[in-house]
Chains A and B, each alone.
Chain A
C-alpha cells in the first residue's frame, strides 16, 4: 500500500516511537521512585540521609542531562561498569528527572499544615504512619501538576538518547533524513508526533488530578 506523502514516512518512524515510549515509561518509573526517595530524604530527621539526598539532587540538577548520559555511557565503562544504551538512557532520564521531582515532593510535603502533624501526634501515630497515612496523601494532590510537567520534560529528554545511537524517534528521523533528504516533512512529522505524545501525557495527568481531588478541597493547599 502506497501512502501519500508525508504519511509514507510514518512506518519507518513508528518503530522509533515505540523506543521513545519505552524510554519514557521506564524513565518515569525510576524517576518516581527517585523523586519520592529524594524528597523524603531531604526532610528526614537523620542528618546523613539529608546530606545524601541533597547531594543527589544538587549533582543531577546542576549538571546537564546530556552530559550525564554521555558520562554513564562512555565514562562509566572505564570504571568497570558497562551499560547498554537503553539501560543508560533509562537510568539517566530517571535519575535526572527524579532530582527535579525530589524538589517538588519536598515542597509539597512542607506545604502540608503543621496542624495535621499535631493531630496525628495527638492520635499517637508513629512518624512513619504520620508520613505515609496523613502527610503524603495530602501532598500527593499538590504534587501532580508539577510532576506532570516533569513527565513531559522527560519525554522531550528521550530525544537525547539519539546521540548515543539508540534508535529512538529522533535517531530514526536523522537516519531517514540522510536517506531521503526530505528534511522539512520528516522533522515536521516528528515534531507533531512528539507533540501528540506530550498531549497524551498531559491528559493523563489531568485525569489523575481529578481522581485524587474527589471530595477534597486540596486539603487546604490551594
Chain B
C-alpha cells in the first residue's frame, strides 16, 4: 500500500539509567511500531518497569535517546546530561498513557471524576463532554454502575479497570501497562486481562505491556521482548520466544517461571 514505512511510535536508543552504582538500563535499544502490541518480560531488576517510567519521563536518563512519535524527549543538555523543560515533557506525556501496578486512583474523587478530571483540566473539555466520554469508557470496562462510587469502595480489579478508563480518556497514542495485575488477588486478575484483551481487539492502540502473565502475553502480543541486566536479550513473535528461545538466559527464565506455577 504506502511506499514509506511508518516511523516507530516509540524509540529508545542506547539508553543508560543509573541508580547510584547500579546500571538498571545498560545501553538499551528498543522500537515499537504504531498499533503494535509488545510484551516486556524478564526477571525482577531487569529494568522492565524502568523503561516504562523513562518513556513517561518519570525518570530522567543518564545517556542515550528517547523518541516518542519522532520527538526527542530530552532535546537539551544541562550539567552534561539530557534535559528538557516542564512544558516540553508535558507535551510528550500527552501522547502516552500509563496504568500503574498500584492503581494510584485519586481517593478524594469519585470514579467518574477520576476519569473526567484530566480531560477537563488538561485537554480543556467541558464537563459535559468529559462526562460523556467517561461514562462510555467506564461502560466498556464494565463499571457503568460504579460511576458515583469512591475508590475505597472498590475491589482491586475494579480499581485497576477504572485506572485503565482514566488513562484511555486522555486518548493517548501509546498505552503503557506496568505489571497491572501483580498487585491483585488471583481471582481478580482475569477481569483486568479481559479488558486488555478487549482493548487490543477493538482498537488499534499501541500497547507496551510489562507482565508476568505468560499465557496472556502469548495471547495478546505481536512481539515479546525478553530483558535481562538492563538490555534486550532477545525478542520475536510469541511462538518463537516461548517455544523456541534461542538464548540460554531466556530458556532459564522461562524454565523458572514454569516451575513456579
Q: Interface code B75-100, partner A: CB below 8 Å = 1, 0 otherwise?
A: 00000000000100010011011101
Taking CB as reference atom, which chain B residue is nearest A130?
Answer: B121
Q: CB-CB < 8 A to B152: which residues of A? A: 215-217
Give A207-221 as 1s and 0s: 1 = Cβ < 8 Å from B's Cβ atoms. 000000001111110
Interfacial chain A residues near B122, Cβ < 8 Å: 123-126, 129
Contact B166 A118 (CB under 8 A): no
Q: How far is the CA of A124 from the CA of B107 in the complex (A)?
A: 18
Q: Is the CB of A123 within 8 A of B170?
A: yes
User: Which chain A residues numbered 120 to 146 have a C-beta less than 8 Å away from chain B?
Assistant: 121-127, 129, 133-134, 137-138, 141
Tell me whether A119 and B90 are in contact in the complex, defined as CB-CB below 8 angstroms, given that A124-B118, A220-B107 are known contacts.
no
Q: State whether A123 touches B166 (Cβ < 8 A).
A: yes
Interface size class of A (residues with CB under 8 A): 20 to 34
Whether A123 contacts B167 by the Cβ 8 Å rule is yes
Interface membership of A199, Cβ < 8 A: no
- Known A-B contacts A115-B102, A125-B121, A133-B121; A216 and B107 likewise in contact (beta carbons under 8 Å): yes
Assess whether A121 is in contact with B166, with CB atoms less than 8 Å apart.
no
Asked whether any CB of chain B lies closer than 8 Å to the CB of A116, the reply is yes
With a cutoff of 8 Å between Cβ atoms, the chain B residues found around residue A127 in the complex are 86
Binary flags per residue of B99-126, CB closer than 8 Å to A gives 1, else 0? 0101011111010000001100110000
Chain B residues contacting A218 (CB-CB under 8 Å) are 107
Partner of B56, one of A115, A121, A141, A219: A121
Contact assessment for A124 and B170 in the assembled complex, using a CB-CB cutoff below 8 Å: yes
A118–B58 CB distance below 8 A: yes
Bound-state CA distance A59–B94 (Å) is 43
Residues of B within 8 A of A121 (CB): 56-58, 93
Docked-complex contact B108 and A125, CB < 8 angstroms: no
Closest chain B CB from A76 CB (angstroms) = 41
Q: Is B150 an interface residue (CB 8 A)?
A: yes
Q: Are A122 and B150 in contact (CB under 8 A)?
A: no
CB of B153 closer than 8 Å to a CB of A: yes
A118/B107 in contact, CB under 8 A: no
Contact A129 B121 (CB under 8 A): yes
> What residues of A have a CB within 8 angstroms of the CB of B90 in the complex?
124, 126
Q: Fill in one digit per residue for B148-166: 1 if any A CB lies within 8 Å of its CB, else 0.
A: 0010110000000001001
| B residues less than 8 Å from A124 (CB atoms) | 90, 93-94, 118, 122, 170
Residues of chain A with a CB closer than 8 A to B153's CB: 215
Task: A182 to B106: give the CA distance in the assembly, Å.
Answer: 59
B163 CB contacts on chain A under 8 angstroms: 119
In the complex, which of the residues A129, A137, A216 has the most CB atoms of chain B within 10 Å of its own CB atom? Answer: A216
Q: Which residue of A lies closest to B97 (CB)?
A: A122
The distance in angstroms between the C-alpha atoms of A217 and B150, with both chains bound, is 9
Instruction: Give B105's nearest chain A residue, CB to CB.
Output: A119
> How far apart are the CA atoms of A115 and B100 in the complex, in Å?
8
Q: How far is the CA of A217 from the CA of B122 in the complex (A)?
A: 27
Residues of B within 8 A of A122 (CB): 56, 58, 93, 96-98, 100, 167
Residue in B closest to A123 when the chains form the complex, CB atoms: B118
Tell me which residues from 75 to 124 in chain A have a Cβ below 8 Å from any Cβ of chain B: 113, 115-116, 118-119, 121-124
A62–B96 alpha-carbon span in the complex (Å):
48
Which 5 pairs of residues, A with B, have the shortest CB-CB distance? A119-B104, A123-B118, A219-B107, A115-B104, A217-B152
- Report 5 cross-chain contacts, Cβ distance below 8 Å, ordered by A residue: A118-B104, A123-B122, A125-B122, A133-B117, A217-B107
